[in-house]
Amino acid sequence: MRLGIHVPNFDMPGGPAAIAPELARVGAAAEAAGLSWLSFMDHYFQIPPRGVAEQPMLEGYTTLGYLAAHTERIRLSLLVSGVTYRHPGLLAKIVTTLDVLSQGRATLGIGAAWFDREHEGLGVPFPPMKERFERLEEAVRICLQMWDPNNNGAFDGKYYQLAETLCSPAPVQNPHPPILIAGGGEKKTLRLVAKYGDGCNLFYDTPDGVAHKLDVLRAHCADVGRDYDEIQKTIIYNAGTPDDDFVELMAHYAKLGVDMVMVAPPGDYPAEWVEKVLTPIVPRLADLPTK
């Protein structure tokens, strides 16, 4: 099993000027520790229960671009891009740019978005949930078409119409950056994973709860003719700082086929936390065989 870090908080001691150097240290510490993944949230405002809206929140892809220049090996993603925040054609270009400049380390994490306050605050339309999921599927299809070197033609969807799906340069990764679809909705989200996803990210739950979600995903894969084993399974651990029993706990998820667990630093000095807390965990997790 692999370990990733998800950084949701930019409220660094020292104010805005302290954010960039601390994030550079996070990237260096994560690679030194052998972490496989580095992600940020995709929000305009800080979200509950992480904090209050007035706390610092960086634009996600700009932040990933900065980290691309300060890392060499770790995979970079947002967890996850809200489908409402960017036109899908622009999103495909942004992720492609990240992939080119990171030399093939970008993942497109994407979801249906949920935080109505930030949409209303900045004047961004926030459609009903049904429409957001329909837009999500169209957005994924647009990204896949833009990453298809043999199809620069039009896309005519219900919500998005593109006269050309030209994307040059192409991504470094072949055939395209992996697509990770986040969430555990059994009727819509996991079916989209089965149809389009290279990976899924499930909310933290008991092993039985995660096993149930994976059974639902397996059934959707059978329905659409997809190889379930092709899909990377990940979870985000949100039960606090990993303790002495963390590896033993993760062994239950590894047996279910969970490939990677992502953890979030709790406080003001995430780089130091990575060095002290996560570094000794990485080799122990690596010894856990996944199903």
Residue 205 banded pLDDT, cuts 50, 70, 90:
very high
Query: In this model, does residue 290 exceed pLDDT 90?
Result: no
- Report CA dihedral (160, 165, 167, 170) to the nearest 10 degrees: 110
Return the pLDDT at 239. Answer: 83
Whole-number CA gyration radius for the chain: 19
**Domain 2-179+234-287, CATH number (from 3.40.80.10, 3.20.20.70, 3.20.20.30, 3.40.50.1220):** 3.20.20.30
Task: Kindly report, residue by residue over 212-265, the tens digit of the pLDDT.
Answer: 999 999 999 999 999 999 999 999 998 888 988 999 999 999 999 999 999 999
Residue 56 banded pLDDT, cuts 50, 70, 90:
very high
Interacting residues of 76 by C-beta distance below 8 A, sequence separation 6+: 38, 39, 64, 67, 68, 98, 102, 105, 106, 107
Give phi and psi for 260, each to the nearest 5.
-150, 145
Return the pLDDT at 254. Answer: 97
Return the pLDDT at 55. Answer: 95
- Smallest CA-to-CA distance from 253 within 194, 213, 196, 198 is with 213
Residue 289 banded pLDDT, cuts 50, 70, 90:
confident
Answer yes or no: are the C-beta atoms of 168 and 93 closer than 8 Å. Answer: no
User: For the chain, how are helix, strand and coil distributed in percent, rounded to 5?
Assistant: 40, 15, 45
Query: In this model, does residue 291 exceed pLDDT 80?
Result: no
Considering the chain, what is the average pLDDT of its residues? 96
**Starting at the edge strand that comes first in sequence, how are the strands of the sheet with 260-263 ordered?**
75-78, 37-40, 2-7, 260-263, 232-237, 199-203, 179-182, 108-111, 81-82
The fraction of the chain above a pLDDT of 90, given in percent, is 95
Query: In this model, does residue 59 exceed pLDDT 90?
Result: yes
Question: Is this prediction's pTM over 0.85?
Answer: yes
Residues 66-76 have a mean pLDDT of 98
What residue ranges do the domains of the chain occupy? 2-179+234-287
